Amino acid sequence: MRSNTRPLLIYTILIVVVMVSLGILLAQLTRTYFISFFEERIEHEHAYFVDYLQDYDSHEQLDEAEFSDLSEQFNSAMFIFNQDNQLVLDTSDVLDEVTEEEKNQITEQVTNQSHNQRGTLIDDVFYYPSSIQIGNETATLVLASPVHSLGNITKNIWLLIGVTLFFGILLIYFIGYNIFSKYIKPIRSASSVASRLAQGDYKARTYEGYFGEAGELSQSINILARNLQEMTSAQGMQENRLEAVINNMGSGLVLIDERGYILLVNRAFLDSLGGEEHEYVSYIYYDVIPYDAVHQTVQDVYMFEETISHTFVAPFHIQRKHLNVTGAPIFSESHKWKGVVLVFHDITELKQLEQMRKDFVANVSHELKTPITSIRGFSETLLDGAMKDEQMLDQFLRIILKESGRLQSLIQDLLELSRLEKEDFQLDIERFDFVELVEETVPLIEQHAKQKSLKIQKDISASAMIEGDSGRLKQVILNLLTNAVNYTPEHGEIGIRIVDGEADVTLSITDTGVGMPQEEISRIFERFYRVDKARSRNSGGTGLGLAIVKHIVEAHQGSIEVVSAPDAGTTFHITLPKKFTEH
């Protein structure tokens, strides 16, 4: 508010100073004019009195009553001082304006000869002294004439100036307010909005006037603000889209300028190689990316100006990642070199799948080779004449039957695993008692357990109702119990425990068998993987059982956990949700 009234206040003070100065000037000019006028008048009166006083021979002959009449006629008082400066005639009684104090002041001036020859104005009375001759004597005549009009005119002047000043101030405020509203207010508002726009606040708007250039300025500022806001909004949306695209790319991205400094890295790159964004941006690429393949890629792009690809292995925590880096040059529209863009593809899964394919082919070939070789060898032996020996014939046929059964089991497991891994694989979901399912499965391995004198301990609750595929889950239970029997030496113990929770059921199968090292546990669910290959093959297993178990449990949205140690037995914990959720 103070800044808004400051111009009006300044203009008001300026006008007041001008008007007061004008009043003082007019008053002084009026005073000078009237004094000049009175001097002329008194000079004429003085000439008259001088002629009149020449008829007297001495001041002693002066008749005070006569001169009082003359003074009353001229409305002027007379003071005559002799040559000794003594007052010999005083007609001031005719004028009420002449006071005793003024009379003493004039007498003192005449005595001291300090009077002004052009007259003296004291209060509202003008005193005009002059030297005269009365006979042979020199005397001083002082005429006193009232000047009431001078004071009245001065008062009128100041009254006029005051009235003019009052209406002038009102006019100034009226005009100033209109000027402020039409010019100053829009300009100040535009200035404030311009400052806010310079600070980045593009939502600011100014007061739009409709008068002259100020209105055009306000409208232009608002148009500029709207355009800046739209441009900023569009730019922000583009930046957000670009940032979303870059950060949600499945491949790592690095942007390097023409000097080799990193300008940008995305989230996928940080996830692949680790670190934070500030550890890469604004640094030279070969100082923060410690891989020769990346350095070679950038150098080749700079050298050949074409797309270059290399593959390298990067350690990441306890894993090793296989990455493919592709570099491409960046040129401006004028074909000026701007830098290099690097794209990192994580091909770890592809490498693993490729290795798994190779391992699978090798393992299947190896697993099929043994029974086929046995069947073919014994068949050739029989055809060569061994069939005539009934005892040898019986032995060889039993071996052929065993190997063919093993071959049939392997093929069945492979087909089963293939069905489980199909995308269109469906479970036959029903609600059943999981405890009852376990009770039905245990007798299937009891005979084999008795042959090895194994003791089966059960800690099973009364019932546990769940939703799932009972046939597939029975296959899981049977596989785990069979493994427990096969890998537990004679006189060992197998434990079966079921814990019924609020939302899930946990089945734990424990054995006192050979166990396995900790580093082998993560691989036991791979196809054909065996901790002890000789023991596993002799047990009649195909190496696919645990892979099938893992697929079935995960299809039921459950989890499997293994706790084991060498010569300390193994425990499998299977946790299944009670309610199956369709995806």
* Spans of all domains in the chain: 249-346, 352-421, 430-577
Tokens of 262: 């990193």
Assess whether pLDDT exceeds 60 at residue 536: no
Residue 243 has pLDDT above 70, yes or no: yes
DSSP letters along 96-128, please?
Answer: SS--HHHHHHHHHHHHHT---TT-EEETTEEEE
Q: Is the pLDDT of residue 185 over 80?
A: no
Average pLDDT over every residue of 413-423? 61
pLDDT digits (tens, 9 = 90+) for 245-281: 777 777 888 999 888 899 888 888 888 888 888 889 8
Q: What is the pLDDT of residue 25?
A: 78
Dump pLDDT digits (tens) for 146-174.
766 556 666 777 777 778 777 877 777 77
Ranking 165-179, 303-317, 340-354, 535-549 by mean pLDDT, the lowest is: 535-549
**Region 451-460 average pLDDT:** 87
Cross-strand partners of 467: 431
Nearest CA to 323 out of 375, 402, 268 is that of 268
CA distance linking residue 83 with residue 60, whole number of Å: 13
> For 69-73, 84-88, 385-389, 512-516, which range has the lowest pLDDT when averaged over its residues?
385-389
Query: Is the pLDDT reported for residue 1 higher than 60?
Result: no
Q: What is the mean pLDDT of residues 470-477?
A: 84
CATH class label, 430-577: alpha beta
Give me the mean pLDDT over the 303-319 stretch. 81
Q: Are 50 and 42 in contact (CB under 8 A)?
A: no
What pLDDT band is residue 338 in, cutting at 50, 70 and 90? confident
**2/547: higher pLDDT:** 547
Residue 178, both tokens: 């209109």
Q: What is the DSSP code string of 441-506?
A: HTHHHHHHHHHTT-EEEEE--S--EEEE-HHHHHHHHHHHHHHHHHTS-TT-EEEEEEEE-SSEEE
Mean pLDDT calculated for residue range 137-144: 78
pLDDT band with cut points at 50, 70 and 90 for residue 535:
very low
Q: Report the pLDDT value the prediction gives residue 168, as an integer from 0 to 100.
A: 72
The pLDDT confidence band at residue 364, using thresholds 50, 70 and 90, is low
Classify 317 in phi/psi space as left (phi over 0), alpha (psi -120 to 50) or beta: left
Distance CA 130, CA 142 (A): 6
Q: What is the mean pLDDT of residues 383-400?
A: 74
* Higher-confidence position of 139 and 147: 139
So what's the pLDDT on residue 463?
80
Which CATH number fits the domain 249-346, given the four candidates 3.40.630.90, 3.40.50.2000, 3.30.450.20, 3.40.50.1820? 3.30.450.20
Report percent pLDDT > 90 for the chain.
Answer: 3
- Quickly state the pLDDT bin for 340 (edges 50, 70, 90): very high
Banded pLDDT at 537 (limits 50, 70, 90)? very low
3-class DSSP string for 312-366:
EEEEECCEEEEEEEEEEEEECCCCCEEEEEEEEEECHHHHHHHHHHHHHHHHHHH
Confidence class of residue 487 from pLDDT cuts 50, 70 and 90? confident
Tell which CATH architecture fits domain 352-421.
Orthogonal Bundle (1.10)
Task: Calculate the alpha carbon distances from 14 to 100, 165, 168 in Å.
Answer: 44, 11, 11
| Band of pLDDT at residue 538, cut at 50, 70 and 90 | very low
Region 282-289 average pLDDT: 89
H-only helix segments in 502-579: 518-521, 533-538, 545-555
For residue 207, the SS3 value is coil
d(CA 64, CA 87): 12
Average pLDDT on 207-227 reads 69
- In the sheet that 262-265 helps form, which strands lie side by side, from edge to edge? 262-265, 252-257, 337-346, 319-331, 308-316
Question: Is 60 exceeded by the pLDDT of residue 123?
Answer: yes
Mean pLDDT of 459-479: 83
Range ranked top by mean pLDDT from 218-227, 334-343, 421-430: 334-343
Query: Could you give the CA distance from residue 549 to residue 214 in angstroms, rounded to a whole number?
Result: 83
Least confident of 62-66, 80-84, 86-90: 62-66
Residue pLDDT, tens place only, 15-53:
778 777 877 777 777 767 776 776 777 777 777 777 777
